[in-house]
Amino acid sequence: MSDSPPRGAARTEAIMRTTLELGQEIGYAKLSMEAIAARAGAGKHTLYRRWPSKGALLLDSLLSLHRSSLDFSDTGDIVADLRTQMYAALDLLGNPPFGPLYQALVGEAQSDPQVAAALNERFITPQTELTVARLRTAQEQGQLSPDFDLDLAMAILSGPLYFQFLITQEPLTHAYADRIVDALFAGMGTP
Amino acid sequence: MSDSPPRGAARTEAIMRTTLELGQEIGYAKLSMEAIAARAGAGKHTLYRRWPSKGALLLDSLLSLHRSSLDFSDTGDIVADLRTQMYAALDLLGNPPFGPLYQALVGEAQSDPQVAAALNERFITPQTELTVARLRTAQEQGQLSPDFDLDLAMAILSGPLYFQFLITQEPLTHAYADRIVDALFAGMGTP
């Protein structure tokens, strides 16, 4: 039986895989809907029916890569779980194909509000919810300060990663993640 | 006496002022060296002699705005001084002309390594040095944990600002800065 939804899903997956391959080969700037369609053996209209722009298509393609890899584990030890999660985030940001293409996408989000909105809706917000949920459990278990401002969690944890990724553009290492987690837990002030 | 250095400095300043005005009017994407030269009544070669690209010219123009406004005050109270400094940074990032043009420049830095390098060399590194110097004094005075990792200071303090500025793109408020400073001083962990 060859009904159309599976064919559609397989085609969608092939287009997203092609987007990542081609993006890695030629870079985001040179990537075009035309070139992706040609390489994937699909019609350009097929792409535009699902994705309004190459930014939207690239975002979906990148998300297809990371699914589950950024889920939070819950071993009962919040420091260990945060480290694990920060390592996963750094590994994703710091390596191809995700890293360079995601960097280009964030660059695009600075001038394209639609890309920025999609990035937040599809990636940042769900990630924030997972992070806050894991931290809330830790807070309830007394592993996190009862005063800790959970709504700041994503900015405080991810901010230093993005700062290095986008601004200083220095290598992202696990040692860097360790230092951030240590500093955030201990705090800057004298007890 | 009309010797050439002052004329040159005045012209440089006029070109930078024009860059900001025109950038604010038409946006970074449409800004060009040609249009800036025409508006400033300067030759295009004059611009290119000093700035290799519009990114480099915009960076200089933005830096001419912020000088001194991001200097660290030292009232003897590190928490108060950090708040003051974070407010100044937020006011700069959150308002025109600096905000939108700087956002575009950071976007450009994601695909142009020369812009990224200039941004770090001319803006981020000097800012980091000022920040670390002020924090070191506070640490020596016992206002900051003796264990606090000074080399992380810039990423930990600025990271959450940039995360909001570039990623979630939500409004930058003084209340947000307060919450960050509070959270960073107290730490996430239970004492």
Distances in Å between the alpha carbon of B34 and those of B8, B13, B54, B81, B106? Answer: 19, 17, 10, 42, 22
Mind telling me how many Å the CA of A139 is from chain B's nearest CA?
Answer: 9
B34 located within any domain: yes
Is it the case that residue B69 has pLDDT exceeding 70?
no
Query: A85 and A24, same structural domain?
Result: no
Per-residue confidence at A9, pLDDT binned at 50, 70, 90? Answer: confident
Q: Are residues A46 and A92 in the same domain?
A: no
Percentage with pLDDT > 70 across chain A: 94
The enclosing H or E element of A48 equals: helix A44-50
Tell me, yes or no, whether B47 lies in a domain. yes
**Is A189–B187 a contact, with Cβ atoms under 8 angstroms apart?**
yes
Is the pLDDT at A70 greater than 90? The verdict is no
Mean pLDDT to the nearest integer, B47-56: 94
| The predicted structure's pLDDT at residue A73 | 86
Interface test with A, best of B110, B154, B165 (most A CBs within 10 A): B110
Tokens 């600096």 sit at which residue?
B98
Domain encompassing residue B129: 64-186
pLDDT tens digits along B121-141 = 999 999 999 999 999 999 999
Name residue B50's amino acid: R
At residue A38 the predicted structure's pLDDT band, cuts being 50, 70 and 90, is very high
- Across residues B47-52, what is the average pLDDT? 94
Does A122 score more than 60 pLDDT? Answer: yes
Of A18, A34, A53, the last residue of a domain is A53
- On whether both A88 and A9 belong to a single domain, the answer is no
Find the angle CA(A138)-CA(A143)-CA(A149) to the nearest 5 degrees.
70
- Per-residue pLDDT for A3 more than 60? no
Query: CA B95 from chain center: how many Å?
Result: 12
Residues A83, A160 share a domain? yes
H helix or E strand, kind and range, residue B88: helix B78-93
* Higher-confidence position of A72 and A18: A18
CA distances from B124 to A29, B75, B85, B128, B139 (A): 26, 23, 14, 6, 22
**Cα distance between residue A62 and residue A46, in whole Å:** 19
Contact B169, A120 (CB under 8 A): yes
B48 and B68 assigned to the same domain: no
Note whether A47 and A82 are same-domain residues: no
Candidates B123, B127, B131, B126; CA nearest to B148 is B131
- Looking at residue A1, its pLDDT comes to 45
B67 against B166, higher pLDDT:
B166
**pLDDT value at residue B191:** 75
A49 has pLDDT over 50: yes
A151 and A172 share a domain? yes
The answer on A119 and A42 residing in a single domain is no
Mean pLDDT for B79-91 is 95
Spatial separation of the C-alpha atoms in residues B87 and B173, rounded to whole Å: 8
Among B114, B11, B8, residue whose Cα is nearest residue B59: B114
Considering only CB atoms, B179 lies closest to which of A152, A167, A168, namely: A152
8 Å CB contact of A144 and B190: yes
Question: What phi and psi, each to the nearest 5 degrees, are found at residue A76?
Answer: 95, -10
Q: What are the φ and ψ backbone dihedral angles of A52, each rounded to 5 degrees?
A: -75, -20
* pLDDT at A72 (0 to 100): 82
- Write down which residue in B53, B72, B94 finishes a domain: B53
Residue A128 lies in a domain: yes
**For residue B191, is it within any domain?**
no
Sequence-distant (6+) residues with CB within 8 A of A60 are A16, A51, A122
Q: Which residue among B104, B120, B187 places its CB closest to the CB of A185?
A: B187
In a domain, A22, yes or no: yes
What radius of gyration, in Å, describes the C-alpha atoms of chain A?
19
B115, pLDDT greater than 60? yes
Given a contact cutoff of 8 angstroms between Cβ atoms, the answer to whether B47 and B14 are in contact is no
- Per-residue confidence at B185, pLDDT binned at 50, 70, 90? very high
Q: How far is B24 from chain A (nearest CA, A)?
A: 14
Asked whether residue A20 is domain-assigned, the answer is: yes
Note whether B42 and B9 are same-domain residues: yes
pLDDT for residue A5: 40
Asked if the structure places residue A191 within a domain, the reply is no
Among B44, B63, B42, B64, CA closest to B52: B44
What is the average per-residue pLDDT within B33-40? 96
Q: Please check whether residues A95 and A178 belong to one and the same domain.
A: yes
Contact B111 A180 (CB under 8 A): no
Across chain B, what does the average pLDDT equal? 92
Looking at the structure of chain B, the number of domains it has is 2
Q: Which helix (H) or strand (E) element contains residue A86?
A: helix A78-93
Same domain, yes or no, for B103 and B31?
no
Together in a domain, B116 and B38: no
What CATH number does residue B152 fall under? 1.10.357.10
Stretch A75-102: mean pLDDT? 95
Higher pLDDT, A8 or B35: B35
Residues of A in contact with B111 (CB under 8 A): 28-29, 104, 107
Question: Which chain B residue's Cα is nearest to A115?
Answer: B167
Q: Is residue B59 part of a domain?
A: no
Q: Output the domain CATH number for residue A41.
A: 1.10.10.60
Chain A residues close to B148, C-beta within 8 Å: 183, 186, 188
* CA–CA separation, B83 and B89 (whole Å): 10
For residue A97, is the peptide bond before it cis, meaning its omega torsion is within 30 degrees of 0? yes
CB-based contact B155 A166, cutoff 8 Å? no
What's the confidence (pLDDT) of residue B3?
43
Is this prediction's pTM over 0.90?
yes
Mean pLDDT (chain A, rounded): 92
Q: What is the pLDDT of residue A4?
A: 44
Task: Give A191's pLDDT tier (boundaries 50, 70, 90).
Answer: confident
pLDDT band at B190 (very low <50, low <70, confident <90, very high): confident
Quote the CA–CA distance of A134 and A183 in Å, as a whole number: 19
pLDDT at B68: 60
B1 pLDDT tier (thresholds 50, 70, 90):
very low
